[in-house]
Structure 1
Amino acid sequence: MPSGLVALLDDVSVIAKAAAASLDDVGIAATKAGTKAAGVVIDDAAVTPSYVTNFTPDRELPIIWKIARGSLFNKLVILLPAALLLSEFLPSAITPILMLGGLFLSFEGAEKVMEKFGGAKHGETLEDPIEDVAEFERQRTAGAIRTDLILSAEIMAIALGEVAETPLFERAIVLALVGVVITVAVYGVVAFIVKMDDIGLHLSKRGDALSQQVGRFLLWSMPHVMSLLSSVGTVAMLWVGGQIVVHGLHVLGLHGPSDVIHGAEHAVAQATGALGGLFGWLVNAGLSAVVGLVLGSIVAVGVHLLQKLGVLKSVSA
């Protein structure tokens, strides 16, 4: 995924250079910024398929298209102007705003964990009888776009950090390029994932034995893959949410949580030799997810209490 993203950004850079000689550095900046955001991009690709799990095949691509349009709106209409304005006039507000987004992601992930372990379900779910399919689809799509807004904010913030010192116009072009290309890459991958069962069905009806075997394997495996992606999406919410909060605390001067996580990551990496990079990353992600789960659970308990008191309506996706 990251390498494909870089290749796409390189292609975009050629177009940008041909369009305006004054923007020769835009392609390089966009590629660098997009690569920096690759980790959040992967999380985004893991989270999104859970929002179309178990819908009928004819609704999968339309739902993904709706979410993709919402994602572009998030990035280009909401986040791009906000990022440019904040970077120009109030850069100190970016970190606290991102931390609030991280808390929201942590809340979403923690609530899903609580439901998996027998907690009360908040809002209609795929296991319940769905009385109004259109309304349920609207709610699921809105939830996906809301979650995308937080992930997109992190992507744009990472990209902004790479071009913060560039002129305003060049900064805007880079952020727009990163936003569009990442959206196309993420939702192209998501569409491919959710239609793999249809590809399997098509192959299973082909005449040659190999195609039929591959098709049957895809038909058998895709429900398991989608279930796994749903779990990965929940973990990704906790991981990214926790990381955003921990990084924000570090930026604001509270270094303890960040130092503990990075210290554990370094110790494990040093102790595991050739696989140190992988195991160190897993420790960092795992501890960040724990932070996200703890913070998200606290927020979830508070939100549910306020809902019972009638102060808040349901905010679950």
Structure 2
Amino acid sequence: MDNHLKKKDIENLTSKFWYSHFEDGEDGCNDVYSFSEIRDDLKQRYNFHQNIYDKIVRALCFIYNRKKKHRGNFDEDLCSYLYYWLGEKIFPVVRDKTVFSNIIQMIYDELSGTNMFTTCAPLHKNIDENSFNVYKMLFDYSSDDYHINLNTVSPNTKCDKHYIETINKYINTYNDVYFSCYVNKEQKYNCDYFHKLFKKDEYTKLPSFYCKTYDEQTFSTEALSRIETRQHALVQSPNSKGNTDFVGKSYLQENSDQHRSHLEHHNHAFTVQRVSDTGAPILTDDNTEGYTSWRIYKQTTRKEQKYV
């Protein structure tokens, strides 16, 4: 049976699974003094709305309880999920990296006063919102790609536009940071963190993310026209914002002449095949059976979803 991946399937990916635990939170921490301090600080000092600081305290209660129950085998990846979940709640409110850093430090200082001690510490210091979003996307991708591979292993897998857009954002962000760290040798991102999430030699073993896009409704004339115009704009340009840009000129050609030779072209309407040693995403369109096929070469990681 063919696998049809939709927007709802995104919520079943590993990162979404764990973030949902922080979103739901837990009760039972009213007697933890440090949590009362956090609630009071967020409310009085930073003027957070009640629904936000209550959610934060409930999320802290979740990881606090989990640490108590799993002292000998606590999954430290939960600390990363906590950090990025907190950031998504706090940054839209404060919009300032100094204030954000102060709040994060306050929360973790209070956490260290519980019996969690220093199990969790802030992942990044003095981080701006854009960099935070990039690192969160990288972390989520390193967590999710195992199940993305499983979900799309069949050549008959079909994905709706929401699923495709999510994967594109992951791959675009990965490639932006990869090129910055390995090709252009820039100091734009924290390359040590990137190396921690993705082994350097793994791009030589890139499997393909392959999925046929589909719409539950019958293809319209506009949709068919859109497929046709992609024939001359197949290379997908990665960027840090996760936007999908299709350009006729290779992203590699624009950024590094030394990598142009790694593009292999074939003499048919849909020409772009793969990049052998850069990790850049490649798109292949195949207008068969009324579908559009996407083939994007991507990074593999070691993550597996844990249901404990």
Please state which structure has a larger fraction of its residues in strand.
Answer: 2
User: TM-score, normalized by length of structure 1?
Assistant: 0.23
User: TM-score, normalized by length of structure 2?
Assistant: 0.23
Please state which structure has a larger fraction of its residues in helix.
Answer: 1
